Amino acid sequence: MNLTPYLWVVFALSGCQNHTETPPGPCQLPPTTHFIGPQQFQSPGARTYDRQDQCLAKGGTYHASGRGILADQMRLAAQHGDTDAWLQLGRWAEHDQPPRFDDARDAYRTAYRLGHASGAWYLGRMAEHGMGQTIDPVAALGWYQKAAGGVRLVEASELAQARRQQTQLQQQLNDQQLALLQGQAQLDAHKTLLDASTSPLYRFDIGAPPTRCGQAMNWRDLGDSLSGFALALKQFDQHYADQGWLWLRGDQAPDWARDPLLPSVLADFIQTRRTAVALGGYWADLMPDDMGVQPWLLMDDPGGVHRAGHLRVRFDCAL
């Protein structure tokens, strides 16, 4: 059987591999033996970038023929983002004969841009000694500073003084921020006062001494009793509900306040009223579960701003 056509096909296919993207490496692997029927032939081993120990372990031959192959390895590593490889390419370009300072500068810049601080040091050295450029001490110092991460050499006393100043400035900043927060709190408080609606305050003093805030109502004229109190509530709701809040206040309950019907009378008023009600003292303890839909609040001191649900109100004690 004539095997020549088959051999030509195998050699032709092996020759179709593209070796233009990556240069051949220094490791020559052993040839590969192929069998076609009783015939055998060998194809050349691949040229790889295995390390010398890896190459020898695979039965290959390592060719360290000068810097050419190593330079190819460095270029390949640099193309994959190896910053040490960029530095090495820069050093080779700098010390070439004749020197290739532009290539060296580009390599050092790339190493620094990719995160290797030593690239800035080499650029500073080139600027300081005028390698391929005019001597530039200012630019050299700038590159040296970048290589040091912005840190500069100073006397220990100067550094201590700078740190003390930093502490003082930080304390001043903290004080200013605190003052700003306090000022903002005062501003918010004033804004709350401005936003709060002002309302007249009427009061039923029941078992409590008179107070200067709010207009006292003569509810006792209707009878200092549970029935008189109930009638006073209805009349207030009829004639004063649209004018202001009613404040029921008292520290000591009168005898009629112990009547078991009082909670029912108060609940009936609150659930059917049009009046906004403030409850203080023992009247807060009589507050029914259902407070109706009108605004209400618990209040012992009428000063400041009070919240009744979403409503904010302050009372004009001069009325």
Query: CA-CA distance, 91 to 72, in Å (whole number)?
Result: 15
Between 267 and 251, the higher pLDDT residue: 267
pLDDT at 68: 64
- Tell me the pTM: 0.38
- Considering only the C-alpha atoms of the chain, give the largest distance between any 2 of them, rounded to a whole number of Å: 138
pLDDT at 123: 94
Using alpha carbons, select from 168, 158, 108 the residue that is nearest to residue 133.
Answer: 108
Q: 276 near 246, Cβ under 8 Å?
A: yes
Which residues on adjacent β-strands are paired with residue 247? 203, 278
Helix (H) or strand (E) holding 108: helix 101-113
Give 276's DSSP letter. Answer: -
Q: Is the dihedral of CA 80, 82, 83, 84 positive or negative?
A: negative
> pLDDT above 70 covers what percent of the chain?
82
Q: 137 near 128, Cβ under 8 Å?
A: yes
Q: How far is CA 241 from CA 233, 267, 280, 287, in A?
A: 10, 17, 19, 19
pLDDT at 24: 66
Using the structure block, give the residue that is written with the tokens 């220990």. Answer: 156
pLDDT digits (tens, 9 = 90+) for 169-202: 888 888 888 888 887 766 655 554 444 578 888 8
Q: Over 90: is that where the pLDDT of 305 sits?
A: no
Let me know the angle formed at the C-alpha of 104 by 103 and 106, rounded to the nearest 5 degrees.
65
Which of the four pLDDT bands, split at 50, 70 and 90, describes residue 107?
A: very high
Six-digit token string for 151: 């840190």
pLDDT at 11: 37
Which residues on adjacent β-strands are paired with residue 34? 41
Beta strands in 221-282 (DSSP E): 245-249, 277-279
Which residues on adjacent β-strands are paired with residue 249? 205
The 3-state DSSP class for residue 70 equals helix
pLDDT digits (tens, 9 = 90+) for 117-157: 899 999 999 999 999 999 998 888 889 888 888 666 656 67
Query: CA-CA distance, 281 to 207, in Å (whole number)?
Result: 10
Query: CA-CA distance, 32 to 133, in Å (whole number)?
Result: 53
Looking at mean pLDDT, say which of 99-113, 167-181, 226-240 comes out highest. Answer: 99-113
Which residues on adjacent β-strands are paired with residue 199? 315
Which of the four pLDDT bands, split at 50, 70 and 90, describes residue 66?
A: very low
pLDDT digits (tens, 9 = 90+) for 10-42: 333 334 433 334 556 678 888 887 777 777 777
